[in-house]
Structure 1
Amino acid sequence: MTTDRAADRRAAAAVRRALDGRPDVTAEPPPPPPPGWRPGERALRLGTLAVVALAAALLSGRPWLPALAAAPLVLLALALPGGTRPREVTAEAEVEPRRCFEGERVRVRIAVAHDGEAGRLDPGVTLGHGVRLDHLAVGPHHVELVLTAGRWGRWTLGTVDVDVYDGGGLARRTVRVDLGEVAVFPLPGHAGLTPVPVRLPQRLGEHTAAQRGEGVEVTGVHPYVPGERQRRIHWPATTRRGTVQVHRFAAESAADTVVLLDALADVVDPVTGASSLDETFRAAAGLVRAYLRTHDRVGVVSVGGATRWLRPGSGQGYFHRIAESVLDVRKDLAHRSEGLGPLPPPALPDGALVYVVTPLADQRVFDVLHQVRRRANPVVVVEVPTGDPVVEPGDTEGELALRLWRADRDAMRFALVERGIAVVAHRPGETLDLALAPLLRTRVRGGTR
């Protein structure tokens, strides 16, 4: 019994280490630059040379040493008045695009304007989280940057402090440019299959319904009724039966689909370093795009620091609305609420197929599943694997804890299947169609109220 408790503690500690390994998304801006003009690097070097020469003359008493300080002092004296320095220096940034997908580039152009004579520009870049600097070019009146969006989220690009030097390069003035925010959408996983529930709403779509209607899939034949189109006559059946028989078609309806995102925990795979939250949103984006392409209505619900939801809608432009509605989840990673409130009824329409994309790492997600199942919605759990905790070779207690951890996860999956909830596993790097293919054998059924 003592060994079992120790193994449980080690397994719990491994899970906590994985949860604590999530990336920090808080970024503080750098301190503001000093106002006005101040000496540049060249002026500091000249001043240092003059001071060293004068100090050497005082210490050694040689009369020719002060002559070494004459040239630096003359240059500094000529630069002190600053009559030709710009009095006003402004900088404006153009960022294109403000919305992009993971891995795409963001181009920034900073135009510097001044009213006097100025020399070179020297930019200092402070980037925010989620972006990477790939290229930097400096011109006489502009600065160009090329950034790459590495991870999904709503990121602050950062700031650029542009040092504007005077004509002689002895004084400089810093002007700060705030680059603002950029919305980086998760790269959708590849998905083409769209499983449907048993009961479909009475709206025109592309999914074959159980009832008769105006579709393209033939389900049988029936006797001719006056008023039906003659081109639908099935001549082989008409010849065999001796009466006019026409094709019977299945109706084509649309589906209501809701993708529920588990943002309760961000588990980092100890082996690959992959984030479960990243894979969750990529899989969800693939599901949303696949169903929108078939003219279905798709909604989204994210549960985490705060519950966000968007009523189901249709159209390719709706994908961007769904993606923007969940980008702020990145800012909620540091907030872990103790309990979850009830899901809003408009977010889960009656009979809608609900995909719950989750790593099954937080017990509170089972409360969410219970709420959805209680409303008799058909549910599919798309499990995002988090990787097994790392166990050192030869660690007997660690190996036992790993076996208990795996058995506990198998028990969770079994309990969900026993409740009538379909569970599929999506592995990072694989297409979603591999995970959804088993659902095409039969339509997903819902529960009972």
Structure 2
Amino acid sequence: MTERPAALDRALGGVTAAPTEPPPAPQPGWRAGDRTLRYGTVAAVAVAAALITGHAWLLAAAAAPLALLALALPTGGRPQHVVPTADVEPRRCFEGERITAVITLAHDGTAGRLDPGVAPGPGVVLDDLDVAAGRIRLTFTAERWGRWTLGTVDIDLYDTGGAARRTVRVDLGEVAVFPVPTRTGVTPIPVRLPQRLGEHTSAQRGEGVEVTGVHPYVRGDRQRRIHWPATTRRGELQLHQFAAERAADTVVLLDVLADVRDPATGASSLDETFRAAAGLVRAYLRTHDRIGVVSVGGTTRWLQPGSGQSYFYRIVESVLDVRKDLGYRTAGLRRLPPPALPESALVYVFTPLTDQRILDVLDQVRSRANPLMVVEIPTGDPAVDPGDSTAELALRLWRADREAMRFALTERGIAVVAHQPGETLDLALAPLLRTRIHGGRR
């Protein structure tokens, strides 16, 4: 595999998910508050001026802040044991939904006001902050899918006079933000279906509801299925023949080798990949099919095919950590585990076609004779500054590389469809409904 020019890397504007460093730890114990520092500064300046100039009347200017500081001293004992409790709801949500965190402080002694400082995590934004007696309520909005640290809150707890304060740090923990699935209702199926009851009509004879023809009566057949017009014409009993109904095995393979942002729209290829894949997963689960997931990137994550609406959340949670895999690259890709790709399972590959290593993965799938199709996530052309000959040459090489990858896939008999961000996935998958998808050869 050839290395990409550095100019093209700058033009592509790759999106990485570097973890956000937490703020430095607060100082332990009680320390002077803002009011004490202000009054003390004024008094120190007045005393210094009196000593330098020799004017004793300047000492009177220090008496007022010192008197106010004395009045600010707490009358009761300061809290020595402070126990914060954080309650976050919900811990799992979709993009754009609200997350509420309520922090309650339990302490001994008497305390004054609370002054929180919030450091939100990278995938959420703080919308509202409400401070009441011994309680802080924060409202966040989940902006991007992933497993994010919600953030930390440094609470300055003042004494009753506001002369001293101590800081308590509260870690709000992690939240799982699911991608909003793309609207999808089309579920293409392969030629060969496993011997499992489902909703797809197969070519085999069975106990379905779709009539495929008639056949002569055999002892043991149900007489209520007699086809009277054919019986009258042929002079012997003819019965309806039905097609068997089977369920399909489907695997969604996600290319997370790179995350590229479209310069024109700002859309992330990884975000669009997950939203489209989530919509396809939901569509197949609604038809009671089994569906699994494989993500190929810095590490290979996979989940065996399963069924049921609750399985959608297991699939999404299994790949929420892929953003962390973008921080490093591997020299080669491991072979896909056999349980991840059941025999004859239909494999959808969601890829932006920006890394040639995905071709090695497709070769592994074809070597197992699985029906295969590629859903391309368009990324748009990288932005190139006018007159930058090096970047323009890199852009031409990048376009030629993508065309070569599409040609290689077509020559191997792999169907390639393009999904446009913001549109329903049904528009891309509709041509596949004309016929069933064939598998490769071993």
TM-score (norm 1): 0.93
Partner of 2:98: 105
CA distance in structure 2 between the partners assigned to 1:82 and 1:309 by the alignment = 62
Partner of 1:267: 260
CA distance in structure 2 between the partners assigned to 1:397 and 1:166 by the alignment = 63
Cα deviation, 1:377-412, whole Å, max 9, x if unaligned, reads 110101101111224457788667655543442332
80-89 vs 373-382, greater mean Cα deviation: 80-89
SS at match of 1:221: strand
CA distance in structure 2 between the partners assigned to 1:266 and 1:123 by the alignment = 35
Partner of 1:21: 14
Cα deviation, 1:186-238, whole Å, max 9, x if unaligned, reads 21111111100000000001111110111111112222333333332333333
23-32 vs 222-231, greater mean Cα deviation: 222-231
1:100 maps to a residue whose letter is C
Contact 1:97 1:107 in 2 (8 A): yes
Partner of 2:286: 293
Taking structure 1 as reference, are residues 397 and 40 closer, same or farther at Cα in structure 2, changes over 3 Å only? Answer: closer
Contact 2:95 2:144 in 1 (8 A): yes
Q: 1:311 aligns with which of 289, 292, 304?
A: 304
Partner of 2:64: 71
> Given the alignment of the two structures, is residue 124 of structure 1 paired with residue 124 of structure 2, yes or no?
no
Taking structure 1 as reference, are residues 14 and 246 closer, same or farther at Cα in structure 2, changes over 3 Å only? Answer: farther
> Given the alignment of the two structures, is residue 189 of structure 1 paired with residue 182 of structure 2, yes or no?
yes
> Where in structure 2 are there 5+ consecutive unaligned residues?
none
CA distance in structure 2 between the partners assigned to 1:138 and 1:183 by the alignment = 26
SS at match of 2:168: strand
2:310 maps to a residue whose letter is G
SS at match of 1:411: helix
Contact 2:82 2:106 in 1 (8 A): yes
SS at match of 1:118: coil
Partner of 1:95: 88
TM-score (norm 2): 0.94
323-332 vs 234-243, greater mean Cα deviation: 234-243
Contact 1:19 1:265 in 2 (8 A): no
Contact 1:18 1:267 in 2 (8 A): no
CA distance in structure 2 between the partners assigned to 1:24 and 1:448 by the alignment = 39
Q: 1:351 aligns with which of 344, 357, 371?
A: 344
CA offset at residue 116 of structure 1? Answer: 1.5
CA distance in structure 1 between the partners assigned to 2:223 and 2:387 by the alignment = 78
> Given the alignment of the two structures, is residue 136 of structure 1 paired with residue 129 of structure 2, yes or no?
yes
CA offset at residue 430 of structure 1? Answer: 0.7
> Given the alignment of the two structures, is residue 199 of structure 1 paired with residue 185 of structure 2, yes or no?
no
Count of matched residue pairs:
441
Taking structure 1 as reference, are residues 285 and 138 closer, same or farther at Cα in structure 2, changes over 3 Å only? Answer: same
Cα deviation, 1:319-350, whole Å, max 9, x if unaligned, reads 11111111111111111111011111111111
CA distance in structure 1 between the partners assigned to 2:34 and 2:256 by the alignment = 49
Partner of 2:217: 224
> Where in structure 1 are there 5+ consecutive unaligned residues?
1-7
CA offset at residue 14 of structure 1? Answer: 5.2
1:149 maps to a residue whose letter is A
Matches within 5 A, 1:340-419: 340-392=333-385, 402=395, 405-419=398-412
104-113 vs 21-30, greater mean Cα deviation: 21-30
CA distance in structure 2 between the partners assigned to 1:270 and 1:82 by the alignment = 61
CA distance in structure 2 between the partners assigned to 1:420 and 1:238 by the alignment = 46
Contact 2:12 2:383 in 1 (8 A): no
Contact 1:50 1:70 in 2 (8 A): yes
Partner of 1:423: 416
Partner of 1:243: 236
Give the alignment's Cα RMSD to 1 decimal: 2.1
